[in-house]
Amino acid sequence: MKSPLIPAGVALVVCLFSGCTTVNETGRSQLMLVSPAQEAQMGLAAFAQIKKEEKISKDPELNARIKRIGKRIAASVGREVPNAKWEFVVFDSPTVNAFALPGGKVGVYTGLIKLAASDDEIAIVMGHEIAHVTSRHGAERTSQNYAIAGVGLLAAIGMEVKDVDPAKRNMALAAYGVGSQVGLALPYSRLHETEADSVGLRFAAGAGYDPRAGATFWKKMAAKGGAKPPEFLSTHPSDATRIANLEQLAPKYMDLYKQSRARYE
């Protein structure tokens, strides 16, 4: 009897080789199986849910500050971001975090604002998060998950056709799951973080914010401590790797920063 997995596998093969895009600022090719419209729809839905669950700050000064920084960074992107309707919201929480979602939705927590020593440091973080959106990292990760699942399905089909023992089949698929995470998903996640650091630093500098603030802010984050997994098992580069990279990148954007700062003085 024909396996029901076979037609699904054929469909996935066609799908996996049909989508490829390029990150504008770096030229890196990326597998893309999610349309900009789909991506924006997911971002808008997620942001609406977050606004329901999190306390939104009513501090007019904080809100004005974050909107001012955010608008300058969005302008420094220098190109249209598909389906972006920029919105910058301050969430009243001690969480040291910020995020950006497809559709141009950006959230900054008061905990991060308090940790940052200046608008420059806040801008570095917001630039990093906005770079994730402009580089379509979320959609790329979703596409990679589709690809990983597709290859797993094809492997399952192959073993089923060859009548491999079910126990051995399950062991092989489990090993593939672990290997694909450590060997593909996690390295790409770290690549996305490093790419967002670089592109985000450029956005911040282009908005008139000092790129040297990237390293100073992450040194503060590193000083907060806490147990962290080894870099090869983490979604993010180690603090030392990230700080060294930011220190190396900052001089590259100093001229852009000085030229852009003059426009806002």
Task: Tell me the one-letter amino acid at 149.
Answer: A
Please tell me the distance from the alpha carbon of residue 206 to that of residue 259, in angstroms, as a whole number. 8
Per-residue pLDDT band at 20 (split at 50, 70, 90): confident
Of the candidates 190, 221, 223, 217, the one whose C-alpha atom is nearest the C-alpha of residue 204 is 217
The closest alpha carbon to 115, from 87, 88, 93, belongs to 93
Relative to beta strand 87-91, strand 20-22 is unpaired
Exposure of 6 by Cβ count < 10 A (0-12 exposed, 13-18 middle, 19+ buried)?
A: middle
- pTM of this structure: 0.80
Q: Treating both helix axes as pointing N-terminal to C-terminal, what angle do 213-223 and 186-206 enclose, rounded to 10 degrees? A: 130
3-state secondary structure of 102: coil
Q: What is the pLDDT of residues 110-153, one digit of tens each?
A: 999 999 989 999 999 999 999 999 999 988 988 777 766 656 55
| pLDDT, tens digit (0-9, with 9 covering 90-100), for 194-251 | 999 999 999 999 999 999 999 999 999 999 876 666 665 566 788 999 999 999 999 9
The predicted pLDDT at position 259 comes to: 95
Task: Please report which confidence band the pLDDT of residue 81 belongs to, taking 50, 70 and 90 as the band edges.
Answer: confident
> Is 231 tagged catalytic?
no
Q: Are 197 and 245 in contact (CB under 8 A)?
A: yes
Is residue 214 within 8 A of residue 196, CB to CB? The reply is no
Evaluate whether 147 touches 31 at the Cβ level (below 8 Å): yes
Query: How far is it, in rounded angstroms, from Cα 166 to Cα 76?
Result: 55
Phi/psi for 88 (5° steps) reads: -120, 120
Q: Which residue has the higher pLDDT, 198 or 189?
A: 198
The pLDDT assigned to 163 comes to: 62
Q: Which residues pair with 31 in a beta bridge?
A: 20
Of the listed 129, 140, 193, 195, which one is catalytic?
129
Residue 103 per-residue DSSP state: T
Please list, in sequence order, all residues whose beta carbon lies within 8 angstroms of the beta carbon of residue 17, skipping any fewer than 6 positions away: none
What average pLDDT does the structure give for the chain?
Answer: 83
- Give me 212's structure tokens: 């040297």
Provide the pLDDT for residue 6. 39
The Cα–Cα gap between 172 and 153 comes to 12
Residue 14 pLDDT > 50:
no
> Taking the CB of residue 33, how many other CB atoms lie within 10 A of it?
19
Structural domain boundaries in the chain = 5-264
Residue 79: per-residue pLDDT:
86
